[in-house]
Amino acid sequence: MDLTAVTIPEIRQGLLERQVSAEEVVRAHLDRIATRDQEVRAYLSLSPERALEQARKIDRKMAAGQALPPLAGVPVAVKDVILTRGLKTTCASRILENYVAPYNATAVERLEAAGACVLGKTNCDEFAMGSSTENSGFFPTHNPHDLTRVPGGSSGGSGAAVAANLATVALGSDTGGSIRQPAAFCGVVGMMGTYGRVSRYGLVAFASSLDHIGPFGRSVRDVALVLQTIAGRDPMDSTSADVPVADYVAGLDQDVRGLRVGVPKEYLAGLNAEIGDNIQKAIDLFAKLGCKIENISLPHTAYAIGCYYIICTAEASSNLARYDGVRYGYRSRKYSDLRDMYRQTRDQGFGAEVKRRIMLGTYVLSSGYYDAYYLKAQKVRTLIARDFIEAFDDVDVIVTPTSPIPPFKLGEKMDDPLQMYLADIYTVNASLAGIPGISVPCGKTKSEPHLPVGMQIFAKHFDEARLLQVAHAFEKAGGFAIA
Amino acid sequence: MALTEKDVRYVAALAHLELAEDEVKKFLPQLDSILEYMQKLNELDTTAVEPMAQVTYPAAENPALREDRPGPSFRQEEALGNAPEPAASYFKVPRVIERE
């Protein structure tokens, strides 16, 4: 039995039947990482002692006849924008190259309390800014399905780690698609809950009104199990929602017959045929499962990219003002005075994309441009959110492609930031509205080298149970392997 | 092109970024095309639309603020642990106030 190609219930069964120990599961992953990750490069740093110590704790519980916590012995990878006490948390940025987190993110705290074993920290675009993981300040990650291509981003390391069996599940962060798009590119499941569903405490801030922590897994059930563990009110995050967390796993096998599946025309017009074919087959599968397919319209879709990049850069320029070389992180060795120290530190510490976004954000917030850009974008955000609220009067879920294009070659889009931004066209809308979204695999492209295609499902605020139920029904019906 | 090199340098200064000459040259057309793309929002009449600053949702009770009770916090050495220039019990910065 390959201990790395397993799901959470399989690990649990193996432990309960005493076929494997948690330590063996963790060691199998560390061994695989030692070889396979030399070419995938999903991890920035590893934490073998922490993972093994946790695994041995689980094994002792088992030996003592104690009940196992829900994620006992589950190897998890954590995106390096999420704080892990005592481990480096770099945000894939030179400016935080030596930063050691003094506390755990709530999501990490809850995962470890549930028995999960943190294997290490995964690569990403610097400060989660990007759609390919090429903006990492250290090195790019490669798509496990084709090493010459990007894994998507910004949580590309987490997506690639799960796809290459270098972790069973992973945490990522999603601001405008940073979990869903790499999940699509890597052929795994990735989910962003409703804004506020998962505490952001310990997530390094990029755009606070849009940031989420969420799970990656190879099955919908694994994603549901992780979300179940990390979701819920946290007194340390004032924006975390005081809304009860449903039993996501219990609802997975409910019948989807009669559910109304909305297909927005704006997401299909002019779509890449390789992707469009798979999405059409996915829609046909939902019809076969007894769902009612409804054609709907989300009329402000085309404005989402402009709106998103104004709001996220504005918030980023404010959030990243804290990197000044005073309290933590890198400080330039050469400077003339305090102000020069700030400028030299930030110039040497930040990469090009981070600087570009700080510049854009500063511009749209600056005197004379605030109303024309920032206020305008906030108003358009209202219209985009309203599109979804009105659509959900008529449908239960909405189905779309996750990405307009299949995984592209490393280096292909690096010189054209606007083209890179436009690749987020199907993911940023849900982020702006604050609704939950999941990306699940829906087959592969027809042409060589047969790259993964992702389908996205949206539900209304706090309807994660419905989202997971529909995604699970699709998986069970063979939707992940659409030919 | 609407944006100028002067604008780029001005915004860089506002953001405390020291941009090299070649970075200014590289960023100018990139920022200009992105800002031009953002003009697309002006196709929409939003005079009667309220701005959305935060995702809001109907919840029975949403106590945004927790009770103000003292709890465990960092020890001084933890709080100073990541300082780029460690000093005994404070963050060290270059001289800010000049002596006459």
Whether residue B53 is contained in a domain is answered as no
Q: In this structure, what CATH number is given to the domain that contains residue A123?
A: 3.90.1300.10
Q: What pLDDT, on the 0 to 100 scale, is given for residue A26?
A: 98
Average pLDDT along chain A:
97
Residue A158 is a catalytic residue: no
Confidence tier at B61 by pLDDT (50, 70, 90): low
In tens, the pLDDT along A239-282 reads 999 899 999 999 999 999 999 999 999 999 889 999 999 999 99
| Mutation for B interface: A363, A364, A435, most B CBs within 10 A | A363
Chain B residues 38-97 with CB within 8 Å of chain A: 38-44, 46, 49-55, 57, 59-66, 74, 78-79, 81-85, 91, 93-96
Complete DSSP assignment for chain B: ----HHHHHHHHHHTT----HHHHHHHHHHHHHHHHHHGGGGGS--TTPPP--S-----S----S----------HHHHTTT-SSB-SSSB-----S---
In chain B the first and final C-alpha atoms are separated, in Å, by: 48
Query: How many domains would you assign to chain A?
Result: 1
Number of domains in chain B: 1
Residue B54 lies in a domain: no
Kindly state whether residue B21 falls inside one of the protein's structural domains.
yes
At A455-466, the pLDDT tens digits run 999 999 999 999
Q: Which domain holds residue B25?
A: 5-43
Q: Is residue A91 part of a domain?
A: yes
Does some domain include residue B29? yes
Query: Above 70 in pLDDT, residue B26?
Result: yes
The Cα A330–Cα A336 span in angstroms is 17
Mean pLDDT across B12-41: 96
Identify whether A416 is part of a domain. no
Is residue B59 scored above 60 in pLDDT? no
Are B62 and A383 a contacting pair at CB < 8 A?
Answer: no
For residue B30, being part of any structural domain is answered with: yes
Q: Give the pLDDT confidence score for residue B67 in this predicted structure.
A: 80
CB A220 within 8 A of CB A472: yes
Question: Do the domain assignments include residue B88?
Answer: no
Contact yes or no for A103/A328 (Cβ under 8 A): no
Indicate whether A391 belongs to any domain: no
pLDDT tens digits, A278-308: 999 999 999 999 999 999 999 999 999 999 9
The verdict on residue B68 lying in a domain is: no
Domain that holds residue A47: 8-184+193-230
Residue B62 has pLDDT above 60, yes or no: no
* In a domain? residue A353: no
**Residues of chain B neighbouring A330 (CB-CB closer than 8 A):** 84
List, for residues A149-180, the tens digit of each pLDDT value. Answer: 999 999 999 999 999 999 999 999 999 999 99
CATH number where B16 lies? 1.10.20
Tell me the C-alpha distance between A116 and A106, whole Å: 14
Residue B14 lies in a domain: yes
Neighbouring residues of A254: CB distance < 8 A, sequence distance ≥ 6: A469
Q: Is A439 a catalytic residue?
A: no
Q: Is residue A56 part of a domain?
A: yes
Whether A288 is catalytic is: no
Regarding beta strands A292-296 and A75-79, do their DSSP bridges make them parallel or antiparallel, or are they unpaired? unpaired
How far is Cα A14 from Cα A16, in angstroms, rounded to an integer?
6
Please state the pTM of the whole predicted model.
Answer: 0.97
- pLDDT per position as a tens digit, A73-103: 999 999 999 999 999 999 999 999 999 999 9
Average pLDDT over residues A406-435: 95
State the pLDDT at residue B98: 75
pLDDT-based confidence at residue B60 (cuts at 50, 70, 90):
very low
